[in-house]
Amino acid sequence: MTGRIAFQGEPGAYSHQACAEARPRLEALPCKTFEDTIDAVRRGDADLAMLPVENSTYGRVADIHRILPESGLHIVDEAFVRVHINLLGVPGAKLTDVRHAMSHTVLLGQCRDFLRQNQIDPMTGADTAGSARIVARDGDRSIGALASELAGEIYGLDVLARHIEDHDTNTTRFLLMARDPDLRRRGPAGMMTSFVFRVRNIPAALYKALGGFATNGVNMTKLESYMVGAEFTATQFYADIEGHPDDRNVQLAMEELDYFTTHMTLLGVYPADPKRR
């Protein structure tokens, strides 16, 4: 497959790393925002969008679940990417020279222990690769960047400390999205189905809506709620389940869900990443 894959951030961002690992034959297209990333696919400037949805240490990526249902795109794959955080410095700098570390807020939160132990103050940057670019541009030995080794290679920085994340299982889950859905059964690790729904305004509606998944043996791996619109009563739920919509037990569970919801939108059917296991 040839083409382009869009990601949010500057060259060297972890989303760029995810593109290189999951779709190495595609040209990576950097975009300023998540919305720009999605628009690049909608316009046809890219074939796929690589979007981070959650990190095993930091949790959900802010606002991403609001963007997905409105994107007009479909989830066609997922990728679990091991996030190794490195302290990058200008050539010749040493770890003891660094007094401030710049990066995205999410990354700063993933290596608090290292920063505290080395008496390094966190500095919020727009993103990881952008912070590396600024550190390289300014040439100040007292300021480092928390980013990927790829960012260090791109911007000519030295790795002063490698793999400094607080947890050695630090992983980010990405979703690959396309203009058209792909409902084929594929992949060695089974299928996943993602959707959003709103429940009817009746007592125990959520409990009743989810009952069908339990009674039909469908494993729900994620359920998250968030407010929509300007009303506190309008709650939308995002869910991931194991299985394909054509599986009989999934069909029965979705039929029961439909009875207790005001609407349901299928976001995608895609192969589970083997790393999920």
The single residue of 7, 34, 174, 197 carrying the catalytic annotation is 174
Among 61-65, 67-71, 248-252, the range scoring the smallest mean pLDDT is: 61-65
For 182-200, what is the mean pLDDT? 95
pLDDT band for 232, please (50, 70, 90 cuts): low
The single residue of 37, 128, 172, 261 carrying the catalytic annotation is 172
- What pLDDT score was predicted for residue 1? 47
Helix (H, G, I), strand (E, B) or coil at 57: coil
For 119-133, what is the mean pLDDT? 94
Residue 57 bears catalytic tag: no
Q: What domains are there in the chain, each with its CATH number?
A: 4-83+170-178 (3.40.190.10), 86-161 (3.40.190.10), 192-271 (3.30.70.260)
Residue 174 bears catalytic tag: yes
% of the chain with per-residue pLDDT over 90: 82
**pLDDT tens sequence across 17-48:** 999 999 999 999 999 999 999 999 999 999 99
- What pLDDT score was predicted for residue 203? 87
Q: Is the pLDDT of residue 215 over 70?
A: yes
**pLDDT tens sequence across 90-118:** 999 999 999 999 998 888 988 999 999 99
**pLDDT tens sequence across 160-174:** 999 999 988 889 999
pLDDT band for 75, please (50, 70, 90 cuts): very high
The CA distance from 17 to 127, in Å, is 14
pLDDT band for 234, please (50, 70, 90 cuts): low
For residue 170, give Cα distances in angstroms to 14, 59, 156, 176, 275.
Answer: 12, 11, 25, 20, 13
pLDDT band for 227, please (50, 70, 90 cuts): confident
The CA distance from 12 to 88, in Å, is 12
For 203, left (φ over 0), alpha (ψ -120 to 50), or beta?
beta
